[in-house]
């Protein structure tokens, strides 16, 4: 990743990709307090547009606020930085990674003497859980690792430190040949995937875990909006893993994962064992919208 052509926005300036480096004593590298976003830009019928740019940028600001990290740039500057990176790298469709992290002025867990740095990188990234998985569904396993308790980490913040838990879960199940991990909360209820929110379908209704220990996903919010517009009822509640086993359909949502059907959990086939009709409808509406083919949601697209 470090050895590429292109530009990265780094502390207010576009710098050549290979020069966007930082010192090994950078605070975040040692103690894990940093916040980031995952954003996508899509090729639309009217040129490239970043999907829900404002919501992602607001979540980045909120994530920093939760951790009392000083954010040296305002929302407008960060939104413009993301557009600038897409333009500077001539990208039609890409994934964007804004990150705010602490500098190397001091060691020790007190973060009062360290400055905040902000970078935005962008690169082409296809289907996160594989193109085949998008069409046929993926195989998921419940991890033995528990999602953070709401008072162990701050679950509304998309933070660097959260992801050691995601990596542990993912590597555990990937080792056994599964595509992705499902994490349960401290009480044993379904929380989310390692990098995705989860939905299930039962008797034509959608269910998704309420917002306790899962991330308040922007794709989750997109699906909640689309479901309401399609007249589908969505219930946000605690979900058990056996409710997922017996669901008619299940799918993950996330900026990287987009809308990915789940065909199996813990070696139990879900529904017909393929992408279900409601998942397909929402998935295809999602791709129409991000591709600029649906005027109703044109306000979710920020043209670069
Ligand atoms: N949960 C976790 C743990 C994630 O990493 C992500 C990806 N950001 C999501 C849920 C989905 O969030 P979003 O739809 O905003 O990308």
| Residue 217 in contact with ligand 1 by CB distance below 6 A | yes
**Catalytic residue of the set 68, 83, 158, 293:** 158
- Helices (runs of H) and strands (runs of E) counted in the chain: 8, 17
Nearest to 64 by CA among 36, 105, 29: 36
Amino acid 194: pLDDT: 98
Centre of ligand 1 from the C-alpha of residue 113, in Å: 30
Looking at residue 252, its pLDDT comes to 98
Is domain 7-123 given the CATH code 3.30.470.10 in the classification? yes
pLDDT of amino acid 53 = 98
Give catalytic status of residue 158 as yes or no.
Answer: yes
192 lines ligand 1 (CB under 6 A): yes
Backbone angles phi, psi at 191, to 5 degrees: -105, -65
Residue by residue, pLDDT tens for the chain (304 residues) are 999 999 999 999 999 999 999 999 999 999 999 999 999 999 999 999 999 999 999 999 999 999 999 999 999 999 999 999 999 999 999 999 999 999 999 999 999 999 999 999 999 999 899 999 999 999 999 999 999 999 999 999 999 999 999 999 999 999 999 999 999 999 999 999 999 999 999 999 999 999 999 999 999 999 999 999 999 999 999 999 999 999 999 999 999 999 999 999 999 999 999 999 999 999 999 999 999 999 999 999 999 9
The protein residue with its alpha carbon nearest to ligand 1, atom 4, reads 195
pTM: 0.98
Backbone angles phi, psi at 24, to 5 degrees: -65, -20
Structure confidence at residue 84 (pLDDT): 98
Helix/strand/coil for 282: helix
Domain 131-290, CATH among 3.40.50.2300, 3.40.80.10, 3.20.10.10, 3.40.640.10:
3.20.10.10
Provide the residue ranges of all domains of the chain, joining segments of one domain with +.
7-123, 131-290
Task: Give the up-direction half-sphere exposure of residue 49: CA atoms within 13 A in the CB hemisphere.
Answer: 21
Name the nearest CA neighbour of 213 among 195, 236, 190.
190
Ligand 1 pocket: which of 54, 55, 214, 215 to mutate (most atoms within 8 A of CB) = 215
Angle between helices 218-229 and 277-290 (to 10 degrees): 110
Query: Nearest-5° angle of CA 79, CA 38, CA 25?
Result: 90
Residues 287-296: contacts with CB under 8 Å, at least 24 apart: 287/258, 289/222, 289/226, 290/40, 290/42, 290/44, 290/51, 291/42, 291/43, 291/44, 291/45, 292/42, 292/44, 292/45, 292/46, 292/49, 293/44, 293/45, 296/229
Is the shortest distance between the CB of 260 and ligand 1 below 6 Å? no
Cα Rg of the chain (Å, integer): 19
State in Å: Cα 266 to ligand 1 middle. Answer: 22
CA distance 9 to 20: 8
Give the atom of ligand 1 at the shortest distance from the alpha carbon of 162.
3
């Amino acid at each position: 990743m470090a050895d590429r052509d292109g530009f990265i926005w780094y502390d207010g300036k576009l710098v050549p990709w290979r020069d966007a480096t930082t010192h090994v004593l950078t605070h975040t590298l040692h103690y894990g307090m940093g916040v980031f976003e995952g954003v996508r830009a899509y090729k639309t019928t009217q040129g490239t547009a970043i999907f829900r740019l404002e919501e992602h940028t607001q979540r980045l600001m909120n994530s920093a606020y939760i951790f009392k990290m000083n954010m040296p740039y305002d929302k407008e500057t960060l939104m413009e930085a993301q557009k600038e990176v897409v333009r500077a790298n001539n990208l039609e469709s890409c994934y964007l990674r804004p990150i705010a992290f602490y500098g190397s002025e001091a060691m020790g867990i007190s973060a009062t003497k360290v400055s905040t740095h902000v970078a935005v990188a962008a690169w082409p990234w296809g289907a996160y859980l594989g193109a085949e998985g998008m069409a046929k569904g993926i195989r998921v396993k419940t991890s033995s690792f528990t999602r953070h308790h709401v008072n162990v980490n701050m679950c509304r913040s998309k933070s660097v430190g959260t992801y050691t838990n995601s990596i542990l879960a993912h590597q555990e199940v990937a080792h056994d040949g599964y595509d992705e991990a499902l994490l349960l909360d401290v009480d044993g209820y379904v929380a989310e995937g390692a990098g995705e929110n989860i939905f299930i379908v039962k008797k034509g209704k959608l269910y998704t875990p309420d917002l306790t220990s899962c991330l308040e996903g922007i794709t989750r919010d997109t699906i909640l909006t689309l479901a309401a517009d399609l007249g589908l009822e969505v219930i946000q509640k605690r979900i058990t893993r056996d409710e997922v086993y017996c669901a008619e359909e299940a799918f993950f949502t996330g900026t990287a994962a987009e809308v990915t059907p789940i065909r199996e959990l813990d070696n139990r086939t879900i529904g017909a064992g393929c992408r279900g009709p409601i998942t397909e409808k929402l998935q295809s509406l999602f791709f129409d919208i991000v591709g600029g083919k649906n005027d109703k949601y044109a306000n979710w697209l920020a043209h670069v």
